[in-house]
Amino acid sequence: MLQQMVEMECQRWASKGINIRYQIRENRTGYKAGALKEGLKRSYVKHCEYVAIIDADFRPEPDFLRRAIPFLVNNPNIALVQARWRFVNADECLLTRMQEMSLDYHFTVEQEVGSSTHAFFGFNGTAGVWRIAAINEAGGWKDRTTVEDMDLAVRASLRGWKFVYLGDLQVKSELPSTFKAFRFQQHRWSCGPANLFRKMVMEIVRNKKVKFWKKVYVIYSFFFVRKIIAHMVTFLFYCVVLPLTILVPEVHVPIWGAVYIPSIITILNSVGTPRSIHLLFYWILFENVMSMHRTKATLIGLLEAGRVNEWVVTEKLGDALKNKAAADAANKKTPFKLFKKPRFKFGDRLHLLELGFGVFLFLCGCYDFVHGKNNYFVYLFLQTITFLICGFGYVGTIIPS
């Protein structure tokens, strides 16, 4: 149905004399990288200098190209203009609100700072315009990992190309609003960079076109700290080490290490979404749970284990549920609204690893309640509840008021 609508729209514009074509490929070899590679093989591409990449669920404004292209035209060293994502369903449920908090930090801090200081930042895979010459010089699209966007960005950066991020150029997009879809997405986003790091680290080291400190930045800061260690440290410290210190009283974690510094870092992470600061505490608990899932995916990527190249298209539900929830809220004024999601079998909802860690944290909390002195049981019981909610797959069924 959607393909037919797109084809009809292209035909409508073509009838007005606009040079536009509707084309699809016959197979899904190479997934998104394969599709992008196939697209650049078309005969008409040799007459083009730039390519805009927009995912199917993204809706750019009519002036998108008019605002993005001048940065490429006026600076031949620019390879990519990256626009910001704006989430049309951020208020759909608690899960989408927490995703908005994480992604707003990514755009407001990581990419804005990276662009302003001329440091490296990755392509987000969509809502961007590339210079075709830069793509070709970097070796084109490669399907060796599930993060073809980051792969190309790293290779282009190592050849001296620069990127620009435009925070005021926003493209409407949609967040996954089911926990199942979100888990698949986070697996790909965590496994892919780790696998790319494994495959590219020596290529970066041997590169002679960029300065030594840029190599250090890309390897240490971009890959090692942000894409690998960050997930592991969060999970191991808050979900393994801290609970185990309760069982081993000889081990003491100072209050500034357990509470003060992590709290400051977490508060700073929320600067991108001040309207959701009241959800900050639950966001912390939820991110601790997801850090386990991301750690597992990161290890799979580093070790090239079974699911390393798994690509599951992220399911988006569209505006139907949001409109239904808004209509229900207008009829019944209550702080929270529950709405129906697509039905899953109960067995599909169960995530045994989360449930297992929930039980482990509950036992540690009970022991601290009886024998402990630091009152860690308050945190442990709250974290237990969050693990169990995620373990039973019921994240995101509540719309925040």
In tens, the pLDDT along 299-319 reads 999 999 888 888 887 877 765
Final residue belonging to a domain, choices 175, 197, 229: 175
Average pLDDT on 84-105 reads 93
Calpha distance 314→175 (Å, rounded): 9
Quick one: 66 and 208 in the same domain?
A: no
Calpha distance 196→342 (Å, rounded): 34
Quick one: 61 and 201 in the same domain?
A: no
Quick one: 168 and 270 in the same domain?
A: no
CA 271 vs CA 231, 278, 392, 398: distances in Å = 20, 12, 31, 24
Q: Can you give the pLDDT at residue 306?
A: 84
Final residue belonging to a domain, choices 132, 151, 175: 175
Q: Which amino acid is at 18?
A: I
Closest listed residue to residue 262, CA positions, set 282, 289, 233: 233
CATH of the domain at 129: 3.90.550.10
CA angle 190, 354, 105 (to 5 degrees): 40
Q: Assess if residue 142 is contained within a domain.
A: yes
Quick one: 146 and 292 in the same domain?
A: no
Q: Which residues make beta-bridge pairs with 165?
A: 82
Q: In 3-state terms, what secondary structure has residue 74?
A: coil
Calpha distance 5→12 (Å, rounded): 11
Q: Give me 206's structure tokens.
A: 């041997």
Quick one: 277 and 387 in the same domain?
A: yes
Return the minimum-mean-pLDDT range out of 154-158, 255-259, 295-299, 331-335.
331-335
Going edge to edge, which strands form the sheet with 78-87? 50-53, 128-131, 78-87, 162-173
Q: Assess if residue 7 is contained within a domain.
A: no
Q: In 3-state terms, what secondary structure has residue 260?
A: helix
Quick one: 299 and 156 in the same domain?
A: no
Calpha distance 269→238 (Å, rounded): 17
Quick one: 146 and 251 in the same domain?
A: no
Q: What is the pLDDT of residues 260-270, one digit of tens each?
A: 888 787 777 77
Calpha distance 239→107 (Å, rounded): 28
CA 26 vs CA 13, 23, 29, 34: distances in Å = 24, 10, 9, 11
Final residue belonging to a domain, choices 148, 175, 202: 175
Quick one: 367 and 307 in the same domain?
A: yes
Quick one: 295 and 373 in the same domain?
A: yes
Q: Which amino acid is at 125?
A: G
In angstroms and rounded to an integer, the radius of gyration of the C-alpha atoms of the chain is 23
Quick one: 228 and 353 in the same domain?
A: yes
Q: What is the total count of domains within the chain?
A: 2
- Is residue 109 very low, low, confident or very high in pLDDT (cuts 50, 70, 90)? confident
Quick one: 189 and 201 in the same domain?
A: yes
Q: In 3-state terms, what secondary structure has residue 169?
A: strand
- Mean of the per-residue pLDDT values of the chain: 87
Q: What is the pLDDT of residues 11-58, one digit of tens each?
A: 999 999 998 989 888 887 888 899 999 999 988 898 899 999 999 889
- Is residue 340 very low, low, confident or very high in pLDDT (cuts 50, 70, 90)? very low
Q: In 3-state terms, what secondary structure has residue 191?
A: helix
Find the domain containing 135 and state its range: 32-175
**What percent of the chain is predicted at pLDDT more than 70?**
91
Q: In 3-state terms, what secondary structure has residue 173?
A: strand
Quick one: 187 and 170 in the same domain?
A: no
